[in-house]
Each structure stands twice: as structure tokens, then as C-alpha cells.
Structure 1
Amino acid sequence: MSANTYETLNAKVGRRSFMKMAAVATAFGVTSSFASTTATRTATEEEIKNPFPGSKMVKSICTACSVGCGIVAEVQNGVWVRQEVAQDHPVSLGGHCCKGSDMIDMVRSEVRVKHPMVKKDGKWQRISWDEALNGIASKLEDLRQKDGPDSVMFLGSAKFNNEQAYYFRKFAAMFGTNNIDHQARI
């Protein structure tokens, strides 16, 4: 598809029109014809009863934001294999947002960065935690010495709990700046 064709299609179909077409297609069962391929199979009775033999259920807190919704993670051999919402959790009351319900995919992603990395000679290389922290600390100190403490901004996270946000703010104050914000969506 050429760029001009894409622009023409994009100009003719807006978000609202696309959503209407998707609803109509679903209502008429168009999506079921795509789902009936031989790529999937029906699970056996044993797989339905016990798909992950030897797994255990672990109650935990969703890490998508700082609301504190409950999840029940199914863990097999130290690997998070499946999750359910915690029906009896006092915060989420058996519900999840789209981020919380997708948390397992983020945690199990093959492209997730799990170690400190630095780009050297055009290639990403793994470094130690000490090297990463020392590098960040020296860069922050250089910026403060050269351009002053207000040359840096600290951006918090909606994943911070109350205590983490408090210490983050204290760290910015210790650094000597009021340049602090966060991207809370709640």
C-alpha cells in the first residue's frame, strides 16, 4: 500500500467511523469467521481442570499504578503463567483496568529490559548496577555543578506509593530543586 493510498484511507475513516464499523462487523459475526482457523484446538478435559500442574496461586498487588488492586498470580516453577483478579480484594472489588489485566504480558515480555544497559559504540551492552548508579550520580553531580540544581527535573510515577512519592520529593529537595512532577492518570 502506497503512502498516498494510506493517507486517502486515513482521511476517509476516522476513529468514530472505525468504531462503528467494528461494532457492526461484530454484530454480524464477521469476526467469528476469522477465529475459526485450524491454528487453535479445543482443550482436553485434563487441561481445563489443571493446565499448569504443580502451580500455586499467589495473592499480590498489581503494579500498573499505585491504586493497589489485587491480583491472584498462578506461578509454576517460579514463572508467572496466568493471573486472575482477586475477587475479595477491598480496593479492586474483583475488577481490573486494561493495564492491570495486561500486566502478565508486560512482565513476561521477551523484549523487557531486565538489567542496566548502556549504548557503547552503537551497541547496547549490559552493565552492573553499581556502574549504572555511579554513572547516573556523576552525571547528576556534573549537571548541578555546571548548570545549577534547577537544570534538572525529577519526573515521578503513578506507580509510586505514598511513601515512595514522599522520598522522591525529599530527594529532589536535597538535590536543590523544586522541579518535580508526575504523570498521574488517576
Structure 2
Amino acid sequence: MRTQLICFFILLLGLPLFLTNWLPSADHDDTYIIVLGTKLNKDGTPSTMLKNRLDAALSYKGRDIKYIVSGAGEAEAMGNYLIQHGINENNILVEKQARNTYENILNSIKLIPKSITSFTIISSDFHIYRAQAMASSLGYDVNTIGVKTPLIDRGYWQFREVMAIGKYWIIGN
């Protein structure tokens, strides 16, 4: 029984990374990028995980891109980080009402012109499957960039995401 339980938890923790391997990765052709927020440091600056997401967004620097930074509490800090790293503030749209992944995507999509049917979502590797599934369920062609999660944080976030994926499969958001 103990061996079966251990195998179950190994499978459970590996699920988000396994599912991520089947997602389309970004080709840098999209004109809109949604960067999903996550926690800030106590001093209000982006955490390592959030900086990694923002740094991935910076790989689009120099192109005619609109960056949507999303998340209640962290969106302004995200926008400031991009500005500090050379992104024109006119190319940054701030969505600061979202309290969860579904709201991040739903509220961010409202900032994208109706004529745009494809965009890129940037989040952490463990999180990108659910974010992509949610956006696709709303009728969009979604590209993704899954940023590597720091090893020290991986177990906690993957376990949390497995629970969130289960909730998404059952409830839908």
C-alpha cells in the first residue's frame, strides 16, 4: 500500500509537467502577450518566479508588442519592471482586478481587440497547461511560454497546480 501511495504522489506531482509537453510553444508572431501574475516579495518587488515570467516577456523586446500584465496586487509592479527594462509604457496594458487564473485570462482578453484571435500566455511551466486550456475554451488560438520553476519551489507549486487542474476538469474554471 505504501509503494502504491508513493507512486500515486509521484504521478500526481509530475502531471503538470507531463501535460505541458503537449502544448504549442510561442513562435514570437503574436502581437499580444499576457503575463500571468504571481506573488510579490514583501517589499512589493517581483518574486523570483514573477521575474522569470517577466524576463521571458522581455524576449519579445524590440517588436511591436502589447504586453498585458495581469493580477490584483502585482500588475502595477509587473508593469514597472517591464518599463525599467526598456519596454515603452504605451505598450503595457495593466489588468489589476484578477484574483485567479481564470480571471487573469478573462479580464486580459477584454483588453485585446476583437480582431485578434491569437496571443501568447507566459506563466510558470507547471501552470501553463491550465492557463492554455482556459484560454482555448474561450475560443482563442493560444501560444505559450512556460518558464522554468525554481527547484526550491517546484514541489509546492506542482502539488497546488495538480489540485487546481482537478478543480478545472470538474468545475471548469
Same fold (TM over 0.5): no
Larger Cα Rg: Structure 1 or Structure 2?
Answer: 1
TM-score in terms of structure 2 length: 0.24
Normalised TM-score (structure 1): 0.23
The structure with the greater share of residues assigned to helix is 2
